[in-house]
Structure 1
Amino acid sequence: MKYANIGGQAVMEGVMMRHKDRYAVAVRKENHEIEVKSDTHISYGKRFHVSGIPIIRGAFAFVDSLVLGMQTLTWSASFFEEEEPADAAGRKKESAAEVSGKKEEESAADSDKGFMVLTVILSLALSIGLFMVLPFFISNIFRRATDSGLLLGIIEGLVRLMIFIAYIVLISRMKDIQRLFMYHGAEHKTINCIEHGEELTPENAAKYSRFHKRCGTSFLFIVMFVSIAFFLLFFQIFPIESMVLKVVCRILMVPLIAGVSYEIIQWAGRHDSGLVCLVSKPGFWMQKFTTKEPDLEMLEVAIASIEAIYDWREFQKELAE
């Protein structure tokens, strides 16, 4: 199996696929048609000229995936918003942008960008608080029973894993999320089909695994393990008494943890050794919750997204050489 250099994510009733500086989102609308949007997105790693620097590029890639993911998810959701109320003449009310003209449209676009930035910041803050800071405070409850920094660090790591697993399991039970996870499975199956060198059709893609080594779920699971190792090592070498400093250090180490985890997931995605299988196995377990078996129509949507930006036939020629 060869690395196809393509990735993506599920969106509302659709799939986003990305290849280099191009991305496409395909959405199955309520009238059953597939709407496809393709555009260019220069990664932050390239913008800041760090895409060739290991670890640092991973921290930028993490933020990059959050921003693009939020943008494409918002775009897909726009197809399923409630209809505008009709006026007395039975016509839909015009939006503020339509009434006010071009200047207001530009203002609205700027407002959307600001809202997107705020959403990403809040998402990062919530994730860091839930998975990095909260486990630390919970583990400190056990300080009454032991003053061993090593043991408390292990307890903190176990609490972090338990919170992460509980979070994944709980959201996987939500009905709307289950459909999202079906499209997540469609994303993986189509990429697996390409990387195994088979013609990309819904029927062929359906035969392949819904699990993939470069999945975001696997990345987050690796983040959990890397954070345990980093925090244990750091606070054993640099014992800190201040609770505030302990929290600050954990927050400051998040970009480093994300960068190292990125390098691990990229390495795993390009190799097929026994060690890679061992590293990938925990992520596959979690993907049992975050991916579901898609139907053929969902696979068709994923394929539409791929074909808007990626020449999979040319890739197959390279595999055959």
Structure 2
Amino acid sequence: MKMSGIGGQAVMEGVMMKNQDKIAIAVRKPNGEIEVKKDTFIGLAQKHKFFGIPILRGMVTFVESLTVGMKALTYSSSFYEEDDVPPTKFETAFNRLFKDKADAVMMVLTVLFSILLTIGLFILVPFVGANFFERYIESAVLLAICEGVLRLALFIGYVLLISQMNDIKRVFMYHGAEHKTINCVEHGYELTVENVRIQSKEHKRCGTSFMVYVLFFSIIFFTCIQVENIIMKMVLRLLLVPVIAGVSYEFIRLAGRSNSKIMHILSRPGMWVQGLTTKEPDDAMIEVAIRSVEEVFDWKEFVESFHGEIDEVKPKKRGFWEDDPAPEDEIDEIYEEIEDEDEKAKKEMAVTMPSDEKQLFNACGDIMPGFLEEEKDEVLDALDRYFESDEKK
């Protein structure tokens, strides 16, 4: 497996892909056609070397990813808006107040709200819940672990709850299509529907994995750094959130670059949770994901670097773990699951513009990989060499 630098996000009836400064959003319109919007995005780390410092770049990337993700969701949902719905009084007043800058201001407010909601739901709520047990648990370490377990349970419960929504199910199917397409390219296979279909729907560089490791590293940080005052505890957690996000970013970045068995094992918890946020896509969804990749990445040149000639590439059926082949009967079951889930979703779902809550979740879902571009990084290279040398001993 070779890292391509491609990453993306599932949007409403489509997929957004990013490679370096190129962005493409491919959406399946109500009439069945695929609409593609191309754009460019140059992050702060590319403009100023200071923001490319390890840990700090993860903090910056998190905010940038939310911004790009919100824009992609807004674009994709525009194809499914009801034209005859008049603007609300709030929308009218907001547009009158900010005029030409209304969209930009709304985007900033939405990103800020997303960050505050994430911190409130997954940092402060578990903190308050864990303090309820303080009278029963004397050990500060055990209390911090209890808080971490509550945080993880809350996250998994939240994912399970929203996964019952029909439109979210389709987003998760597009999420699977995005992962399968990237896996196909990074394993050196020709980018066709047939080849993509049999790839794993889990991927190391996923926003879901990022969230899992944010929760995991928060346990370590909050266990090691202790204060007695309850107010200072809460303030400390808020101050450490950006640092934890930066550390989690570096871990996901290293995992995506490394083929070592150690990193493969350490990546498993995040990939297990991806089983909740990815579903098997149908061929139409795979076509959308392929179209998005082709707009930002020369996959033919990349595949030739594996095998010399594209015609020589003979793909293997891939299972849950990217290096393991899937049995024939398992592949057949996957195809049946694709057809059943898609047919059920189409019958039950009335296509409407998603609510702010759904857009908020989707924006946090899978954008991080788009910013994990392949570049020279001495720190990560040294860590990768360390893990590989340790395995050979």
Pair in the same fold by TM > 0.5: yes
Cα displacement string for residues 17-56 of structure 1 (whole angstroms, at most 9, x for unaligned residues): 0001110000000011100000111113224433531111
| Corresponding residue to 1:249 among 223, 230, 236 | 236
Aligned-pair CA distance for 1:77: 0.5
2:33 match = 33
1:192 match = 183
Work out the CA distance in 2 between the residues paired with 1:147 and 1:45. 44
Q: Secondary structure at the match of 2:24?
A: strand
Q: Residue type matched to 1:66 in 2?
A: L
**Taking structure 1 as reference, are residues 109 and 69 closer, same or farther at Cα in structure 2, changes over 3 Å only?**
farther
Work out the CA distance in 2 between the residues paired with 1:108 and 1:11. 27
Cα displacement string for residues 140-188 of structure 1 (whole angstroms, at most 9, x for unaligned residues): 1111113321121111111111111111111112111000000000000
1:57 is aligned to 2:44: no
Q: Residue type matched to 2:243 in 1?
A: L
1:74 is aligned to 2:74: yes
2:329 match = none
| Corresponding residue to 2:108 among 83, 99, 117 | 117
2:295 match = 308
Work out the CA distance in 1 between the residues paired with 2:273 and 2:99. 39
Cα displacement string for residues 220-262 of structure 1 (whole angstroms, at most 9, x for unaligned residues): 1011100100111111xxxx23222211110111110011000
Q: Residue type matched to 2:259 in 1?
A: D
2:200 match = 209
Work out the CA distance in 2 between the residues paired with 1:279 and 1:147. 31
Work out the CA distance in 2 between the residues paired with 1:219 and 1:146. 30
Work out the CA distance in 2 between the residues paired with 1:186 and 1:109. 36
Work out the CA distance in 2 between the residues paired with 1:132 and 1:226. 12
Q: Residue type matched to 1:310 in 2?
A: F
Work out the CA distance in 2 between the residues paired with 1:18 and 1:216. 14
Q: Secondary structure at the match of 2:134?
A: helix
**Taking structure 1 as reference, are residues 50 and 84 closer, same or farther at Cα in structure 2, changes over 3 Å only?**
farther
Work out the CA distance in 2 between the residues paired with 1:192 and 1:69. 21
**Taking structure 1 as reference, are residues 288 and 109 closer, same or farther at Cα in structure 2, changes over 3 Å only?**
farther
Work out the CA distance in 2 between the residues paired with 1:302 and 1:191. 9
Q: Secondary structure at the match of 1:293?
A: coil
2:267 match = 280
Aligned-pair CA distance for 1:108: 4.5
Cα displacement string for residues 248-297 of structure 1 (whole angstroms, at most 9, x for unaligned residues): 11011111001100010011111122211211111111111100000111
1:157 match = 148
Q: Secondary structure at the match of 2:5?
A: coil
Q: Residue type matched to 2:149 in 1?
A: L
Matched-pair identity in %: 53
Aligned-pair CA distance for 1:317: 2.3
1:320 match = 307
Q: Secondary structure at the match of 2:23?
A: strand
Q: Secondary structure at the match of 2:38?
A: strand
Question: In the TM superposition, what are the counterparts of 1:292-307 in structure 2 within 5 Å?
Answer: 292-307=279-294
2:17 match = 17
Q: Secondary structure at the match of 1:308?
A: helix
Cα displacement string for residues 75-118 of structure 1 (whole angstroms, at most 9, x for unaligned residues): 10011000226xxxxxxxxx99xxxxxxx99x644111100110
Q: Residue type matched to 1:54 in 2?
A: P
Work out the CA distance in 1 between the residues paired with 2:46 and 2:235. 29
Q: Residue type matched to 1:64 in 2?
A: E
Aligned-pair CA distance for 1:320: 3.2
2:210 match = 219
Work out the CA distance in 1 between the residues paired with 2:48 and 2:84. 41
1:136 match = 127
Which is further off, 38-47 or 208-217? 38-47
Q: Residue type matched to 2:281 in 1?
A: P
Q: Secondary structure at the match of 1:26?
A: strand
2:161 match = 170
Aligned-pair CA distance for 1:64: 1.1
Number of residue pairs the alignment of both structures matches: 301
Work out the CA distance in 2 between the residues paired with 1:255 and 1:228. 14
User: Considering only aligned residues, what root-mean-square deviation do their CA atoms show, in Å?
Assistant: 1.8
Q: Secondary structure at the match of 1:35?
A: strand
Aligned-pair CA distance for 1:62: 1.0
2:44 match = 44
1:99 match = none
